Amino acid sequence: MNKDDMILISVDDHVVEPPDMFKNHLPKKYLDEAPRLVHNEDGSDTWQFRDVVIPNVALNAVAGRPKEEYGLEPQGLDEIRPGCWKVDERVKDMNAGGILGSVCFPSFPGFAGRLFATEDPEFSLALLQAYNDWHVEEWCGAYPARFIPMTLPVIWDAEACAAEIRRNAERGVHALTFSENPAAMGYPSFHDGYWDPVWKALVDTDTVMNVHIGSSGKLAITAPDAPMDVMITLQPMNIVQAAADLLWSAPIKKYPDLKIALSEGGTGWIPYFLERADRTYEMHSTWTGQDFGGKLPSEVFREHFLTCFISDPVGVALRNQIGIDNICWEADYPHSDSMWPEAPEQLDEVLKANAVPDDEINKMTFENAMRWYHFDPFSHIARDQATVGALRKAAEGHDVSIQALSHHEKGSRGEALHAAARGNSGDQPVSA
């Protein structure tokens, strides 16, 4: 397949929320108490909510910047591409990168929305629903052919969470972002019956639970003084733990239609993981009491789990050991692992090196995403206008050049952020 003929749907991207996102969706009585974006004296922008300060408005939103400026920068809206937080500009960036569709994970509330948990349940729910309404109606609703809507969970209340899943499913939402380890956040684990209303709501509405690496705020790190490279290298281990936790959990056996996406977890590790799970079952299920109803854990994994990759040559080479119907592609825009705007070129190189046939390319690049998330972009856009080549033609003249955007001396803000990342990565805000 020629790269220009590919159709790309990314199941893992990120949005930097705009300052006015609550204006049209939060009840007026709460507007003065809502999280607000503050421009600080050092030029940074921070979201602030009561006594909590989110230390970086655009954590790792480095698309379009030279690698010398990668890291936990940038810190201001003026230091990131407008496509990070303005939906019209995002679509232009998607066109320039040849990307048709996108699932966008949140930024400042955390991947599981823990920031909105307050002592007032009514206020907490109003904040969360306002966020979801903004995401569904304004961000995704502006371009229904381009975005797969995904809502935040009511992580602090399983019954309310189930109700919110059903509320959003009624308007066509079939994706929920959730913690990959709720126990690490102080909530019951996946093995606790507390979450039964959530599992049932997910199954009843055919909604996919998306567990993103670091969504519990806990990333693998060996020591407080280890180089940042250690944590970056170990990031996929976080999702391996989640996969094991969920594969051996009761809900997987109780709800045969339950669907879980391992977001930004990569795929190269999965063949060994499945081999290990099957071996564990064979050697130990007699005394541990595990019963998959005559199936192997690897078979059950393929019935329930969606995986994703950015380039991942090893995973692509071993794709049939993973399950070709269980793999999606991701762009990770605007984070530093992203290949934007050259994703089609780099993906094409990996696909050709592994002689991937066209039907398998189509499954991994768009068909699996459409099926898992009930997403039909072709009801809004002709298929021949959805290809990499057609989208890039529509983006002619859009500037995608690499630009240095940092407005401060290297390291002048970085030390505090690196410390925060080691201790508070993912869903943990920093107190003022």
Q: Give tens-digit pLDDT for 247-275.
A: 999 999 999 999 999 999 999 999 999 99
Q: What is the DSSP string of 141-193?
A: TT-TTTB---B---TT-HHHHHHHHHHHHTTT--EEEE-S-GGGGTS--TTSG
Q: How far is CA 250 from CA 278, 304, 387, in A?
A: 17, 13, 41
Reduced to 3 states (helix: H, G, I; strand: E, B; else coil), residue 129 is helix
- 232 vs 214: CA distance, rounded Å: 11
- 179 vs 215: CA distance, rounded Å: 5
- 41 vs 108: CA distance, rounded Å: 20
Burial class from Cβ neighbours inside 10 Å (0-12, 13-18, 19+) for residue 323 reads buried
Task: Let me know: does 343 contact 4? Beta carbons within 8 Å.
Answer: no
- Provide block-wise average pLDDT over 10 residues at a time, the chain (432 residues): 98 97 97 95 90 83 83 78 97 98 96 96 98 98 98 98 98 98 96 98 98 88 90 88 97 97 96 98 97 97 98 96 98 94 98 98 98 98 98 97 72 44 42 30
- 399 vs 252: CA distance, rounded Å: 46
Burial 41-63 (b: 16+ CB within 10 A, else e): eeebbbbbbeeebbbbbbbbbbb
Where do the domains of the chain lie, and which CATH numbers do they carry?
A: 3-431 (3.20.20.140)
Q: What are phi and psi of 38, to 5 degrees?
A: -115, 130
Quick: pLDDT tens for 288-303.
999 999 999 999 999 9
Q: What is the pLDDT of residue 269?
A: 96
Complete edge-to-edge strand list for the sheet that includes strand 45-49: 36-39, 45-49, 52-54, 430-431
Q: What is the pLDDT of residue 407?
A: 65
Closest CA relative to residue 211, chosen from 247, 243, 163, 189: 243
Quick: pLDDT tens for 164-182.
999 999 999 999 999 999 9
**In degrees to the nearest 10, what's the CA dihedral of 154, 159, 164, 166?**
150
Closest CA relative to residue 157, chosen from 195, 214, 213, 126: 195
Q: What is the pLDDT of residue 405?
A: 74
Q: What is the pLDDT of residue 420?
A: 43
Sign of CA dihedral 361, 363, 367, 370: negative
Q: What is the pLDDT of residue 82?
A: 96
Under DSSP, the state recorded for 305 is E
Q: What is the pLDDT of residue 187?
A: 97
- 364 vs 376: CA distance, rounded Å: 16
